[in-house]
Chains A and B, each alone.
Chain A
């Protein structure tokens, strides 16, 4: 097509769209929606070729090609389906080990460890602060001995494992590496991911121990150590999930998470690491909320922004550093306690968005998770939801099937623009760490959460079964109960461990760790020795806390 004939066609299209808009503006519209996305982004009644950017081809290309808008692998799910990875953990290591074996026997393809709150905060099960919380929201792991039990009979060279742990991530990673050694599996064979994303803890999830700078120092220690010893392990999962769950919009989730990612890269580079030495092992984790197209656009924009910044800003030359690989989880915050079976449907739509957005792995929530930890039955339905999606719907046949959709491309661009605007605001706030310490991120997130709540209470947003289509009398459903047995059992196990272990060796290992931290050396080798000597989680936390200090949150509402 010649330029002039193309111009004439564009002219005609503009006129046609303008006429359509004028006509559409006179048509009646429903009064039960304000036609914004869940994140309050205005959307048009229709999109056309006029909404595609002029450099569309450069911005999208084909899957597996920079900037990876359309996916990180050329053939996506034809080559390999996403990993179906259900986050699970409760009670003692023995209880959870049984759940893992159940999930593996039903066709799950990767493991994902949910730790209890004491473990997430670096407390042993018998610490006074752990009372009432042991094994309640996840599995209690206080030492290498518990980690050995957790993976008893599960060969660690054959599964990939994800561990959601942040404040004490280095400790739990050392327990895992040491547990593998006890199975005769070398660190180099280990595959999996440790969340290890402290910045979003300060922003949203709040399981922290140390202040930001020493916490970042230990994270870079892990990047450095893992590059040499566990080359197949993802050393961090930079997470938007918790930021979104705390109330952020999709664009805030996108921008804050990427800003955190850049902050980690910057810290690695400042240590003197080559960006291509550690960036290929950085992975991401996104929340998949209710607004179907907004979520898909968010995932496509995320890949494009990451690729561009890594290549152009940080000078990464290895394509593996440009490719954003990620896990997704359906949004827990969208589940309703009212008419809980409706959640199966919400989760299915969210799972579809994650797959159309090109995720590498997926957790689908169980429908009863607003009431308790899931039962075996509800977890099985959640897993089957993914299997139906993968095997029955045909969506895994074609890579990025929504690529080229006027709406999805326009929304992807809008997401990218909004994220770039937020990056500039974060810079103006003094960067990620300063804006955390001043509470800026936390206020932005709280503000969005309150706005959403008021929209729901004013009926501007319909939530089925909650503020519309309400059932008067609902029969309660069966839920999982986790009793206090885990706490008692853990007290006994820890007492026995302390009596049984080589006390002098434990003491010496902790002293060596203290010295490494005090002298600013990489703490990983000494911490791994502590794990091997059966030092407990809190003992390790405590040694480092004396040197690094404790984080204090800015309190506001």
Chain B
């Protein structure tokens, strides 16, 4: 990976991100590439490992006090898993956390999920710089020091 470019930042601390693999899907290539790219961009990244339930992810997000949860789903179970994680975060009083992610997700499903309050979702072939830009611009308007 190349060295991160210095980016303008309004926060005195790094953005904290939980990268998670929910469900039974074992494809972790994308999750690991994204986790490393976000770390290289200066974010503080926690990766859950595979086969996590939505409950495990929500409680890790609360425990690690993250700003963003990124879910990687290539199993087709996105319509169940994204809303469930979001709902559990709300129950934990953390509706402020951005739930975003990517994987093999048809465009219509992305739109449906975004309408339900999920953040932007990214498909195959997305440059990691797009995710970094998205999270940074979200953070600029949603997180205060």
Binding site for B on A (CB under 8 A): 117-118, 120-121, 123, 129-133, 136-137, 201, 205-207, 245-247, 333, 335-338, 370-373, 446, 449-450, 453-454, 456-458, 463, 466-467, 476, 479, 481-482, 553, 555-557
Q: Is the interface of A mostly helix, strand, loop or mixed?
A: loop
Contacts A129-B53, A479-B106, A553-B50 given: A120-B32 contact, CB under 8 Å? Answer: no
How distant is B107 from chain A, measured CB to nearest CB, in Å?
Answer: 6
Decide yes or no whether B98 CB sits under 8 A from chain A. no
**Contact of A206 with B36 in the complex, beta carbons under 8 Å:** no
Q: Of B37, B45, B50, B124, which is in contact with the most chain A CB atoms at under 10 Å from its CB?
A: B124
Q: What's the Cα separation between A413 and B121 when bound, in Å?
A: 44
Q: Is the interface of B mostly helix, strand, loop or mixed?
A: loop
Contacts A118-B24, A557-B31, A557-B36 given: A132-B2 contact, CB under 8 Å? Answer: no
Contacts A121-B24, A479-B106 given: A338-B125 contact, CB under 8 Å? Answer: yes
The 10 closest A-B pairs by CB, nearest first: A132-B80, A206-B26, A136-B76, A555-B49, A117-B24, A132-B77, A557-B35, A557-B32, A337-B124, A466-B125
Per-residue interface assignment for chain B, residues 1 to 38, with 1 indicating a CB less than 8 Å from any chain A CB and 0 otherwise:
11000000000000000010001111111011101110
Closest to A135 in B: B76
The residues of B that contact A450 with a CB separation of less than 8 Å are 1, 32-33, 36
**Contact of A117 with B33 in the complex, beta carbons under 8 Å:** no
**Contact of A449 with B24 in the complex, beta carbons under 8 Å:** no
Closest to A465 in B: B125
Q: What's the Cα separation between A476 and B19 when bound, in Å?
A: 29
How distant is B16 from chain A, measured CB to nearest CB, in Å?
Answer: 15
A-B contact count (CB 8 A): 104
Closest to A463 in B: B125
**Contact of A336 with B124 in the complex, beta carbons under 8 Å:** yes
**Contact of B79 with A132 in the complex, beta carbons under 8 Å:** yes
Decide yes or no whether B87 CB sits under 8 A from chain A. no
The residues of B that contact A247 with a CB separation of less than 8 Å are 29
Contacts A206-B26, A246-B29, A450-B1 given: A137-B75 contact, CB under 8 Å? Answer: yes
What are some 11 contacts across the A-B interface (CB < 8 A)? A117-B25, A117-B75, A132-B77, A133-B77, A133-B80, A137-B25, A206-B50, A337-B125, A373-B76, A453-B128, A557-B32
Q: What's the Cα separation between A373 and B104 when bound, in Å?
A: 10
**Contact of B125 with A557 in the complex, beta carbons under 8 Å:** no
Partner of B2, one of A121, A136, A201, A458: A458
Q: What's the Cα separation between A268 and B137 when bound, in Å?
A: 57
Closest to A247 in B: B29
The residues of B that contact A120 with a CB separation of less than 8 Å are 24, 26
The residues of B that contact A449 with a CB separation of less than 8 Å are 29, 32-33
Closest to B107 in A: A476
The residues of B that contact A206 with a CB separation of less than 8 Å are 26-28, 50-51
The residues of A that contact B45 with a CB separation of less than 8 Å are 557
Decide yes or no whether B129 CB sits under 8 A from chain A. yes
The residues of A that contact B79 with a CB separation of less than 8 Å are 132
**Contact of B49 with A553 in the complex, beta carbons under 8 Å:** yes
Contacts A450-B1, A555-B47, A557-B19 given: A336-B125 contact, CB under 8 Å? Answer: yes
The residues of A that contact B28 with a CB separation of less than 8 Å are 206, 246
Q: What's the Cα separation between A338 and B123 when bound, in Å?
A: 10
Q: What's the Cα separation between A189 and B113 when bound, in Å?
A: 50
Contacts A553-B49, A555-B49 given: A132-B124 contact, CB under 8 Å? Answer: no
Per-residue interface assignment for chain B, residues 65 to 84, with 1 indicating a CB less than 8 Å from any chain A CB and 0 otherwise:
00000000001110111000
**Contact of A137 with B125 in the complex, beta carbons under 8 Å:** no
Contacts A449-B32, A453-B128 given: A133-B47 contact, CB under 8 Å? Answer: no
Q: What's the Cα separation between A112 and B76 when bound, in Å?
A: 20
**Contact of B77 with A245 in the complex, beta carbons under 8 Å:** no
**Contact of B125 with A457 in the complex, beta carbons under 8 Å:** no
Per-residue interface assignment for chain B, residues 90 to 121, with 1 indicating a CB less than 8 Å from any chain A CB and 0 otherwise:
00000000000000101100000000000000
Contacts A133-B76, A457-B128 given: A245-B106 contact, CB under 8 Å? Answer: no
The residues of B that contact A463 with a CB separation of less than 8 Å are 125
The residues of A that contact B104 with a CB separation of less than 8 Å are 370-372
Contacts A137-B76, A372-B106, A557-B32 given: A457-B129 contact, CB under 8 Å? Answer: yes
Closest to B1 in A: A454
Q: What's the Cα separation between A118 and B19 when bound, in Å?
A: 22
How distant is B98 from chain A, measured CB to nearest CB, in Å?
Answer: 20
**Contact of A557 with B47 in the complex, beta carbons under 8 Å:** yes
Partner of B24, one of A133, A371, A372, A456: A133
The residues of B that contact A335 with a CB separation of less than 8 Å are 124
Further contacts, 11 of them, CB under 8 A, given A337-B123, A450-B36: A132-B80, A133-B75, A133-B77, A137-B75, A338-B125, A446-B32, A449-B29, A449-B33, A454-B2, A463-B125, A557-B32
